[in-house]
C-alpha cells in the first residue's frame, strides 16, 4: 500500500477531519502513527459504537497503531456503577471489539485507571483546569449534563480528563463521533498553550436511535447490540422509526448507509412480483432516491436491513458462542 492509498484509507468514511495537514505530512514522510478511540464501559456495544470500531480496523489496515481506551474512571464519574461492575463491562466490550474484527494482537487495550491515577496525569488535568473557563468546560459536557440545572463537578472534570487521556496515550489521531467535537476542540486549543501536542481528529457521523432519538444509546435501549440474536434484530428493525419518504433522522437509512453499504457491494430487496419484484442496489444513493420517491416501501427496506445486519453480525454471535 503506497502513501496515497494509506492516506485515503485513514481519511475515508469520516464526516470531518481536524488536522488533516498533520496526518498528510506524517503519511508522506513514512512516520509511524498512533490512533485511539475511547469508550465508556456502561452497557452494550451497539451499531453506533461499531462505526468507530470499523474506522479503527481501517486504520490498522493503513499501518496505524491502534489503542482502545476502556474508560472505567470516566464511567464511574458518570455514575455508571461500581468500579467492579464497570470493569466487568469493559471486559465484555473488549470481546465485542475483537469479534467485530479488531486485530487482537495489534490492538492495545488500556483501562483508564491504568493511566489516570499517575501523578503527571493529574497535574495535566489541573493545568487544563487552569487554562479552561467554566463556561467552556460546561459546553464540552455531554448533552444530558449540559441541560441539568445543577450538574455535579464530576461532569466538568470528565472532558478535562478526556483531553488528558490523549496526552498520556501519546496519540497522533483521536477517533470519535461528531458529538465529541467540543471536547476535541478544547484539546486543540488548550494543549498547545500548555506546551503539549494535540492530536488530529477523525470525526464520524452519529447514528440515530431506532426510536428516532438523536443518538443510539444503551441507557435509552434504542439500539441494536452487536451480539443481539437474529430474532431480536428482526423485531427491533420491524419497530424502528422509518417514516415514508423521510431521510433526515431516519435510523433505518443510516444503518444502510454506514453499515450495510460500507461492507457490501450490492443489496437486493426481495419483493413478490405483484409488488414489482426484486430490486438490486449497488450503492446507497440509489436506494435513498427510490425511498424518497415512494418506489420502495419502509416495510421492504426494513425486511432487507434486518437480513443484512443478521448476516454482518454473524461473526460476533459465533465468537460469543465459543466463549
Q: What is the CATH number of the domain that holds 276?
A: 1.10.240.10
Query: What tens digit of pLDDT does each residue of 120-165 get?
Result: 999 999 999 999 988 888 888 765 455 567 778 888 898 999 999 9
- Name the nearest CA neighbour of 254 among 228, 217, 225, 216: 216
What percent of the chain lies above the pLDDT cut of 90? 85
Give the torsion through C-alpha atoms of 194, 200, 205, 211, to 10 deg: -30
Q: How does the average pLDDT of the chain come out, rounded?
A: 94
Q: Does residue 222 form part of some domain?
A: no
**pTM for the whole thing?**
0.92
Domain match, 58 and 148 both: yes
Chain centroid to Cα 247, Å, comes to 21
Domain match, 195 and 241 both: no
pLDDT value for 148: 66
Domain match, 62 and 127 both: yes
Q: Does residue 55 form part of some domain?
A: yes
Q: Does residue 19 form part of some domain?
A: yes
Domain match, 188 and 49 both: yes
Is residue 179 over pLDDT 60? yes
Domain match, 9 and 45 both: yes
Domain match, 192 and 297 both: no
Domain match, 22 and 158 both: yes
- Name the nearest CA neighbour of 172 among 66, 71, 94: 66
Domain match, 39 and 93 both: yes
Q: Which range marks the domain in which residue 270 is found? A: 230-321
Domain match, 61 and 191 both: yes
Count of domains observed in the chain: 2
- Compute φ and ψ for 56, nearest 5 degrees: -65, -35
Amino acid at each position: 500500500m503506497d502513501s496515497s492509498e494509506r492516506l485515503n484509507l485513514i481519511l475515508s468514511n469520516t464526516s470531518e477531519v481536524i488536522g488533516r495537514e498533520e496526518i498528510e505530512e506524517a503519511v508522506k514522510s513514512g512516520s509511524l502513527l498512533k490512533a485511539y478511540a475511547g469508550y465508556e464501559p456502561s452497557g452494550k456495544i451497539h451499531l453506533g459504537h461499531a462505526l468507530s470500531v470499523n474506522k479503527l480496523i481501517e486504520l490498522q489496515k493503513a499501518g496505524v497503531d491502534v489503542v482502545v481506551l476502556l474508560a472505567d474512571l470516566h464511567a464511574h464519574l458518570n455514575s455508571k456503577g461500581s468500579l467492579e461492575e464497570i470493569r466487568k463491562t469493559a471486559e465484555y466490550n473488549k470481546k465485542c471489539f475483537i469479534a467485530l474484527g479488531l486485530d487482537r494482537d495489534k490492538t492495545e487495550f488500556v483501562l483508564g485507571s491504568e493511566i489516570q491515577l499517575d501523578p503527571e496525569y493529574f497535574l495535566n488535568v489541573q493545568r487544563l483546569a487552569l487554562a479552561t473557563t467554566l463556561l467552556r468546560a460546561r459546553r464540552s459536557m455531554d448533552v444530558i449534563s449540559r441541560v441539568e440545572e445543577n450538574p455535579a463537578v464530576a461532569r466538568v472534570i470528565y472532558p478535562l480528563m478526556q483531553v488528558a487521556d490523549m496526552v498520556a496515550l501519546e496519540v497522533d489521531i483521536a477517533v470519535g463521533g461528531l458529538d465529541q467535537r467540543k471536547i476535541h476542540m478544547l484539546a486543540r486549543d488548550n494543549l498547545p498553550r500548555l506546551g503539549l501536542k494535540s492530536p488530529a481528529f477523525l470525526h464520524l457521523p452519529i447514528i440515530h436511535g431506532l426510536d428516532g432519538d438523536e443518538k443510539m444509546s444503551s441507557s435509552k435501549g434504542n439500539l441494536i447490540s452487536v451480539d443481539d440474536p437474529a430474532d431480536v434484530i428482526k423485531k427491533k428493525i420491524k419497530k424502528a422509526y422509518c417514516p415514508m419518504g423521510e431521510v433526515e433522522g431516519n435510523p433505518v437509512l443510516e444503518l444502510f448507509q454506514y453499515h450495510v453499504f460500507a461492507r457490501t457491494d450490492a443489496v437486493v430487496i426481495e419483493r413478490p412480483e405483484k409488488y414489482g419484484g426484486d430490486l438490486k442496489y449497488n450503492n446507497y444513493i440509489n436506494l435513498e432516491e427510490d425511498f424518497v420517491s415512494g418506489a420502495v416501501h419502509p416495510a421492504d427496506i426494513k425486511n432487507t436491513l434486518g437480513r443484512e445486519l443478521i448476516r454482518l453480525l454473524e461473526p460476533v454471535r459465533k465468537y460469543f458462542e465459543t466463549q
